Chains A and B, each alone.
Chain A
Amino acid sequence: MRPTHRAWWKTLLGLLLTAVMLFPLYWMVNVSLTERSAIRNGDLFPRSFTLDSYRQALGDQLPYLGTSLVVSLGTVVVTLLVAAPAAYALAHLFVPARRSVRFGLIVAQMVPAVVMALGFYQLYSDLGILDTIPGLILANSTLAVPFGVMVLEAFMLGIPRELLQAAEVDGAGYWRTFWSIVLPISRNAAVSAALFAFLWAWSDFLFASTLNRGGGNLRPITMGIYDYIGSQNQEWGPMMATAVLASIPTALLIVVAQRYVSAGVTAGAVKD
């Protein structure tokens, strides 16, 4: 092992690098806590401290936060419902044209969201589901379903075949095997898929700003922040306060579920 003094030197440098990387986020918090009249002074810490921005942000934005929560949870449900059974089939059952399905999933991840939004807009206006929450949930789920299938399939491939055969010998049908053996074992991969579905839906700007712009209070929080940008005089305090509020669920999830984040990234990108 290396001498400790070298390790501590690395910790110091690491702290410094992290501070530089996270500086914009510190700046956001700093502005959100600064009085309106002092924001343009650019103090390095909130010398003129106030919580007024948060008061205003909560007053304006609470409905949007609620909508975002509903949309994100809905996206998680749709993603898992579609992805988990398909991943099981792709990993362990006979699927004709399996390679085409896998190919379709990879191509689907390459499609630019703006192309999807243009297509969805036409379809949704024909179907009359513009500015609705189910419409937004469906559109958001396209961000996560291909990824979800790939993460779950990669994990399920690791389930020993003998285990599934043993279940069959015991008389369990495919559905029983899936529901009581495969799913519980794949819990970690399912959490990863769900986590990313939630985060992507929570962050979505493109679909919300196109498919849901007339939604009033039934628009997500990203649109709530966007309203501040569009207004005549940009109110930086409440805007940054809202940004902080919108970041809290994400930050919490990353801290609580850190290992699922790393697992998801590497499973989705570098298949090993």
Chain B
Amino acid sequence: MTARSRRRPTRGSWAGVGFVAPLVVYLVVLYGAPLYENVSLSLHRYTRATFVTGQAPFTGLEVYREVVASPQFWPTLGHTAFFVLVSLFFQYTIGLALAVFFQRSFPLSPLLRALFLVPWLLPIIVSATTWQWMFDADSGVINRFIGVLGIDPVWWLNADHSLVSVTLANIWLGIPFNLVILYAGLQNIPLELYEAAGIDGAGPWRQFRSITFPLLRPVTAITLLLGFVYTLKVVDIIWIMTFGTGTSQTMATWAYGMGFGKGGSAVIKYSEASVVGTLLLLMALVMGFVYLVVQRRQEVSR
């Protein structure tokens, strides 16, 4: 039953307004105001001098043009695309494989599934520092491991390889989320379908391709769209591992570094940071609308 069909025709009572008012005020003050502030910053030229003089001339889209023309823009966008798409692909594939693995319960399966959740809910700074140490060039366990296989040590966290390293760590972080959602989706597939397919002589792979994957499509769409939005805004795992240096600079860490004068950007550049932030916001919103459309379609077809 959908939410709408439960809407209750009340007799003109406005009590609901009172109950919902704190939330509306909250959304306006704690979302509306910062977002307005951010967009306004991106349309004015804020500099350090602004603090002294209070002057921030309106510049329209001028700062946008400068940011897009900057030599960092396209490479950073490319890193972001790599980070998001590669993360999503592996998180989803591995998450799905694990969800299918856990689909029928076996001894200890509830406990093991719970343990799989732990990396996702731990503070990211915990995982990020651990990965940083594991990727250490001289004494990191990963170089030691590939050394056993006869591969030369890799400078995982230097400018060239940092994007791959943070993406690997992020894949690890995202597997549990994909596992939980896809596992829940699998529970809604009727077992009889598999039994019937088994009687017809379909093997496990055939069953996966003809039953599991097609019936999971709606959940897949939601998982990937949400994953896209969440991955696009990742700052912490990257920042903590590499300070967003080299190839690991994404749109989000670029904005963070410029906005707060950290890492490669020693000078605070509010306006540039808000420009990048606003672009990021637009990308997230576009995906958000796709998400809403997909969700609505699913509700209608149900």
The chain A residues found within 8 Å of chain B, CB to CB, are 2, 7-8, 10-11, 13-15, 17-18, 21-22, 24-25, 27-28, 31, 39-42, 81-83, 85-86, 88-96, 98, 101-123, 138-139, 141-142, 145, 149, 153, 157, 161, 174, 178, 199, 202-203, 205-206, 209-210, 221-222, 225-226, 228-229, 236, 239-240, 243, 246-247, 250-251, 254-255, 258, 261-262, 265-266, 269-272
Contacts and interface: CB of A to CB of B under 8 A. Distances in A.
A114 B13 contact: no
26 contacts: A2-B104, A10-B101, A10-B106, A11-B107, A11-B109, A14-B101, A22-B119, A86-B20, A89-B15, A93-B8, A93-B19, A93-B20, A95-B16, A96-B17, A101-B23, A106-B288, A114-B277, A115-B278, A115-B280, A119-B34, A121-B259, A205-B125, A222-B123, A254-B114, A265-B180, A270-B222
B210 interface: no
A104 B25 CA distance: 12
Judged by DSSP, the binding face of B is: helix
B33 interface: yes
Interface residues on B, range: 35 or more
A153 B19 CA distance: 13
B102 to A, nearest CB: 8
Contact of A149 (B23, B101, B115, B184): B23
B38 A118 contact: yes
Contact of B139 (A40, A113, A115): A40
Contacts of B43: none
B214 interface: no
B36 A40 contact: no
Interface in B95-112: 98, 101-102, 104, 106-109, 112
Interface of B: 3, 6-10, 12-20, 22-24, 26-27, 30-31, 33-38, 41, 98, 101-102, 104, 106-109, 112, 114-119, 121-127, 129-134, 138-141, 144, 172, 175, 177, 180-181, 184-185, 188, 219, 222-223, 226, 229, 232-233, 235-236, 239-240, 252, 255-256, 259-260, 270, 273-274, 277-278, 280-281, 284-285, 287-288, 291-292, 295
